[in-house]
């Protein structure tokens, strides 16, 4: 399952990407929004990140104007590794080296065709593990009590 959400800057791109996911047989759930009425992007980022963090979904896709705000908010969740990607290479490396599980995209900075290519690469690239696992393990720097490891 893939969770997808967009703020008011991204409903058009989200519609295109949900059609893209459907055409490729991906199981997804759209968590909003569908209009250009202003909303607070952290609310949507937290919905998707929570679903990924709890195992409800294996991956998420978040869309805002630049992708920056969504990635900042999503990365506040334990176990979420949200990556802002601008091209297929950053999507590939985010998956291969960082085991990213949430893809963040900027609707105002990406052409729709490029966004589709990024999503395809993100969803089909496996995590390499090995030496990268040690590094991924170091991403979580604080326990639930706020102590450093």
Q: List Cβ neighbours of 95 (8 Å cut-off, separation of 6 or more).
A: 121, 122, 125, 126, 127
The residue annotated as part of the active site, out of 46, 78, 85, 97, is 97
The yes-or-no answer on residue 104 being catalytic is: no
CB 121 within 8 A of CB 92: yes
Rounded CA-CA distance 53/124 in Å is 20
The yes-or-no answer on residue 64 being catalytic is: yes
CB 66 within 8 A of CB 39: no
- How far is C-alpha 131 from the geometric centre of its chain's CA atoms? 23
Half-sphere exposure of 128 (CA within 13 A, CB side): 11
The residue annotated as part of the active site, out of 46, 64, 77, 104, is 64
CB 100 within 8 A of CB 94: yes
Which residues are tagged catalytic? 64, 97
């Amino acid at each position: 399952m893939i969770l997808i959400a967009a703020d008011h800057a991204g409903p058009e791109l989200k519609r295109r990407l949900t059609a893209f996911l459907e055409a490729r047989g991906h199981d997804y759930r759209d968590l909003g929004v569908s209009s250009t009425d202003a909303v607070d992007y952290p609310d949507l980022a937290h919905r998707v990140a929570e679903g990924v963090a709890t195992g409800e979904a294996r991956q998420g896709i978040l869309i805002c104007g630049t992708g920056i705000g969504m990635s900042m908010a999503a990365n506040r969740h334990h176990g979420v590794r949200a990556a802002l990607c601008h091209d297929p290479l950053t999507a590939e490396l985010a998956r291969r080296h960082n085991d990213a599980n949430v893809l963040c995209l900027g609707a105002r900075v990406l052409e729709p065709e490029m966004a589709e290519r990024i999503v395809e690469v993100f969803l089909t690239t496996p995590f390499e593990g090995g030496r990268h696992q040690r590094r991924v393990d170091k991403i979580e720097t604080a326990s639930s009590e706020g102590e450093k490891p």
